[in-house]
Structure 1
Amino acid sequence: MGKLTDGPLWALVHAERAALVEDLTGLSAEQWRYRTLCGRWDVEEVLAHLTAAASLNRWQWLRSMLAARFRPDVHNQRRLEEHRGRTPAETLERFRTVIHSRTAPSSDTPAYLGEVVVHAQDIRRPLGVTRTPNIDALTPVAEFYAGRDFAVASRTRAEGLELRANDGPFIAGTGPLVTGTTLALVMAMAGRISYLEDLQGPGVPTLRSRLDVSAANQV
């Protein structure tokens, strides 16, 4: 597919945020506390993180990182707490207010689309919600992740492998083949081990070993 410009990419970001709000409306108190695929954070905490991500411009992000002494975990936790409401319903409402935000620390719009796509699946899979993002949203994220390490070491994980989607146009790299849905490829490049079960090909063991190392190095 041709490269999308910022306008269409932001429209996809907004659509994916709106879809997540729809999926989270009506959750029980117990479901809000479910552990997600995103480390130690529960559903409400990941949602608050997404609200924070949609609320920080370049200078706000830089000030926050300076205050955190460039420790991303500290920065993320502080901003999460800032945007979490007194109740899950309030946290959801705060996220609803940033659905159409274009605020971001940089011009790397595919990365911010990826943040919504990945974190939404971090939430959905433990909840048993089976919504799959639009292929038009997934493909630019896959292309960005295969070409660059940004917030995640996606390019490093994919290096020396051929990644090929079986449900869309995404293909990248050379080497042992890894094939599957675009969503599974995106989530694997983002380090989500559970999505390896949705992938096939001789390159999967290499990808698994890289994700196992990433998980072992997490603090």
Structure 2
Amino acid sequence: MHDTRSLEARAMTEPHIPETRRDLERAIHVERSALARDLAGLSAAQWAAPSLCERWTVEETVAHLTAGARVGRWRWLLSMLAARFDADLHNDRRLAEHRGATPEATLRRFRDAVGGPAGPTGHTAAWLGEIVVHGEDIRRPLGLVRTPPVATTTAVARFFAARDFTVSSRSAIAGLRVEATDGPFATGSGDLLRGPTLSLVMAMAGRAVACEDFEGDGAAVLRTRLGSGRSTS
């Protein structure tokens, strides 16, 4: 006879991880909707506050997310070509295009994009990482708290650990044994790095501030690699 408590514990640590494009897109829409709700009622000072992405304020980061949901594949490619594949220049141009005349207008544009495409390329898990990471970039400096479903953060963590895509996520944890304390994500070997899956995702995206949430000898190694608490992407 099975131990009911063991089955319940397994169900908590082994959630259904979104892997299909449809499931990943659904998770993206959920996270966009949650962020739109959290942004309602921000003060002018909060909109102007620096996000964890040091190049952008809260409002600019929101405009960047809107651009990701509005710029299709061919327009994205043309924009990158025009910027000579300078991702920072491309992002700044598209951000300016999708930023409103006021923070309220910027928020309206983001709300209108909530149900839009996942992103300009077929790397759907990467675009899920985009909304998860930038959502935390916005919330954490403002003292807002949201922990996405562990299935969502696990899908992003697995993608980040597998490759360097828009961020050097795989390189960040090279030579470390990484284990989530709230879900099934685990990878690598070496000095131990343990913490919540969302924090692991943020650290792999270059946010050193997430190291405050870790335990194990690997935390100091990762903190040294990441340097400052903010990131430029």
Q: TM-score, normalised by structure 1?
A: 0.95
1:73 positional shift = 0.8
2:67 corresponds to which residue? 52
1:39 positional shift = 1.1
1:13 positional shift = 0.3
Query: Quick one: which amino acid aligns to residue 108 of structure 1?
Result: H
1:129 positional shift = 0.3
Task: Write out per-residue CA displacement over residues 37-88 of structure 1, whole angstroms, 9 at most, x where no aligned residue.
Answer: 0012111000000000111222111110111111111000000000000110
Moved >2 Å (runs of 4+): 213-216
CA contact (8 A) 2:18 2:152 kept: no
Query: How many pairs align?
Result: 218
1:134 corresponds to which residue? 149
1:101 is aligned to 2:137: no
CA distance in 1 between partners of 2:24 and 2:225 (Å) = 29
Which ranges of structure 2 fall in alignment gaps of 5 or more residues?
Answer: 1-15
Which ranges of structure 1 fall in alignment gaps of 5 or more residues?
Answer: none
1:130 positional shift = 1.2
CA contact (8 A) 1:55 1:103 kept: no
1:13 corresponds to which residue? 28
2:47 corresponds to which residue? 32
Q: 2:162 aligns with which of 139, 147, 153?
A: 147
1:134 positional shift = 1.4
2:140 corresponds to which residue? 125
CA distance in 1 between partners of 2:139 and 2:77 (Å) = 30
Calculate the aligned-residue CA RMSD, in Å. Answer: 1.8
CA contact (8 A) 1:47 1:95 kept: yes
CA distance in 2 between partners of 1:56 and 1:144 (Å) = 22
CA distance in 2 between partners of 1:90 and 1:164 (Å) = 41
Q: Percent identity?
A: 53
CA contact (8 A) 1:147 1:155 kept: yes
CA contact (8 A) 1:165 1:185 kept: yes
Distance 1:3 1:32, change over 3 A: closer
2:217 corresponds to which residue? 202
SS state at 1:200 partner = coil
SS state at 2:227 partner = helix
Query: Quick one: which amino acid aligns to residue 6 of structure 1?
Result: R
SS state at 1:159 partner = coil
CA distance in 1 between partners of 2:48 and 2:25 (Å) = 30
Q: TM-score, normalised by structure 2?
A: 0.89
Task: Write out per-residue CA displacement over residues 152-202 of structure 1, whole angstroms, 9 at most, x where no aligned residue.
Answer: 000010111111000011111111110000011000000001110101111
Q: Does 1 or 2 have the higher relative contact order (CA < 8 Å, sep 6+)?
A: 2
Distance 1:193 1:61, change over 3 A: same
1:213 positional shift = 8.3
